[in-house]
């Protein structure tokens, strides 16, 4: 067996065997298969596709290219993943709720590339919060308080890290078999046997239309069946940002307000109830979706979800006084209001445009080594379909650079008709 034969086989649109896929993944992880050879195979996959068995074999080969966690001693762990978006703070709201309902939460999250930081970056907005735990600490935290949220370990699905970076350089990121295998390999390597996936769809997501989102959801569900994992996919809209906040520290503010029961915006309520109810069903903590939704809302209103979030922060070295007294956080230098240029109904608040502008302000990173400014971003008072009056404040730009703030203000991100 050699890599040239494997490349030629996929070039000619033939099915690769499990052994051929494993040979490629192992060889590329070890550096025995070169970048240009891997590029040729990835491009052939991009053009000719893969069937469900090939995608599953690729997923499992990448998952087993490094460390695979065994979380069986933690009980019925259910993982949650999102395919990404703008203002996506759902993990930080949902995980404490699920843990407060007796389901162990052992969550590894990555850093964000692109629009804003990832879940780990958002949590590191809280002074002292540790994400660089050992696996033993990770599991012990779950045993002690029922929840742990840490950064992804270096040896988790290393083949996926290499392939993802390669795909980015050869314009092969947006491909459904490669996206599905990337997501599922990380989930399997992180020890997940039951997984709920938020498949986002719209301008601010990888999947721009429902047809592609349906395909991705179907393939990931099928990977689950073929790899003996329970997978449930829930589709959510990403045409406009989720909730009020976009930006790392600002999203922590919103998370705390929601967990304290101060408000629960309708789009966030829908997402956490759909995803959370499915997680509770998989964990045998609810007999129906409706019962699951009711339990989720109850544990927000009774304060148990907020208490679990405080416990999570404190247990990982975070200064919980910042959560209890949000005014302690350092604010951006410039907080600039966005006002309505005319009266009417908001018809568009484009998630992709907002995401790009948030990254321009410094809320995101282009390269993994880039620093993120936790203070900058947006806070939206009004959303799509709201009726507004001329001069009314629609939201605020949070910036540390006045010139950048003025540029963002000039972009007219709200469409009103």
Q: Can you tell me the distance from the alpha carbon of 22 to that of 268, in angstroms, rounded to the nearest whole number?
A: 40
Q: Can you tell me the distance from the alpha carbon of 110 to that of 100, in angstroms, rounded to the nearest whole number?
A: 23
Q: Can you tell me the distance from the alpha carbon of 10 to that of 374, in angstroms, rounded to the nearest whole number?
A: 44
Distances (CA, A) of 121 to 126, 151, 248, 351: 9, 9, 7, 20
- At which residue do the structure tokens 């975070």 appear? 318
Report, as residue numbers or ranges, the catalytic residues.
81, 160, 167, 182, 186
Cβ pair 291, 251 in contact under 8 A: no
Q: Can you tell me the distance from the alpha carbon of 337 to that of 392, in angstroms, rounded to the nearest whole number?
A: 10
Q: Can you tell me the distance from the alpha carbon of 402 to that of 72, in angstroms, rounded to the nearest whole number?
A: 52
- At which residue do the structure tokens 């998370």 appear? 255
SS3 label, residue 208: coil
For the chain, the residue count is 417
DSSP 8-state secondary structure symbol assigned to residue 331: P
């Amino acid at each position: 067996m050699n890599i040239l034969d494997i490349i030629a086989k996929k070039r000619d649109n033939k099915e690769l065997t499990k052994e051929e896929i494993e040979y490629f993944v192992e060889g590329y992880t070890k550096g025995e298969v070169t970048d240009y050879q891997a590029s040729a195979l990835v491009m052939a996959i991009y053009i000719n596709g893969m069937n469900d068995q090939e995608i599953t074999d690729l997923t499992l080969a990448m998952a087993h290219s490094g460390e695979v966690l065994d979380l069986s001693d933690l009980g019925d762990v259910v993982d949650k993943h999102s395919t990404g978006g703008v203002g996506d703070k759902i993990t930080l709201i949902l995980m404490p709720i699920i843990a407060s309902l007796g389901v162990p939460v052992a969550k590894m999250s990555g850093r964000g590339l692109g629009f804003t930081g990832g879940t780990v970056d958002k949590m590191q907005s809280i002074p002292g919060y540790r994400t660089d735990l050992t696996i033993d600490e990770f599991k012990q935290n779950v045993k002690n308080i029922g929840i742990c949220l840490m950064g992804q370990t270096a040896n988790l699905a290393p083949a996926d890290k290499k392939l993802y970076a390669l795909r980015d350089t050869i314009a092969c990121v947006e491909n459904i078999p490669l996206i599905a295998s990337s997501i599922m390999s990380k989930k399997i390597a992180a020890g997940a046997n039951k997984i709920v996936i938020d498949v986002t769809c719209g301008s601010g997501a990888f999947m721009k239309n429902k047809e592609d989102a349906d395909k991705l959801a179907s393939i990931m569900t099928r990977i689950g069946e073929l790899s003996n994992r329970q997978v449930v996919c829930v589709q959510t809209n990403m045409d406009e940002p989720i909730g009020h906040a976009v930006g790392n520290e600002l999203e922590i503010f919103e998370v705390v307000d929601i967990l304290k029961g101060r408000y629960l915006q309708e789009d966030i309520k829908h997402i956490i109830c759909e995803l959370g109810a499915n997680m509770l069903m998989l964990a045998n903590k609810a007999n129906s979706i409706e019962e699951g939704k009711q339990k989720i809302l109850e544990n927000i209103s009774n304060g148990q979800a907020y208490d679990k979030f405080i416990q999570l922060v404190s247990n990982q070295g975070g200064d919980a006084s910042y959560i209890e007294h949000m005014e302690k956080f350092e604010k951006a230098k410039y907080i600039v209001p966005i006002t309505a240029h005319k009266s009417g109904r908001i018809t568009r608040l484009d998630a992709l445009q907002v995401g790009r502008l948030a990254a321009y302000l410094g809320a995101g990173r282009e390269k993994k080594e880039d620093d993120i400014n936790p203070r900058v971003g947006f806070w939206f008072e009004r959303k799509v379909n709201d009726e507004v009056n001329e001069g009314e404040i629609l939201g605020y730009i949070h910036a540390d650079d006045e010139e950048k703030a003025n540029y963002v203000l000039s972009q007219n991100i709200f469409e009103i008709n």
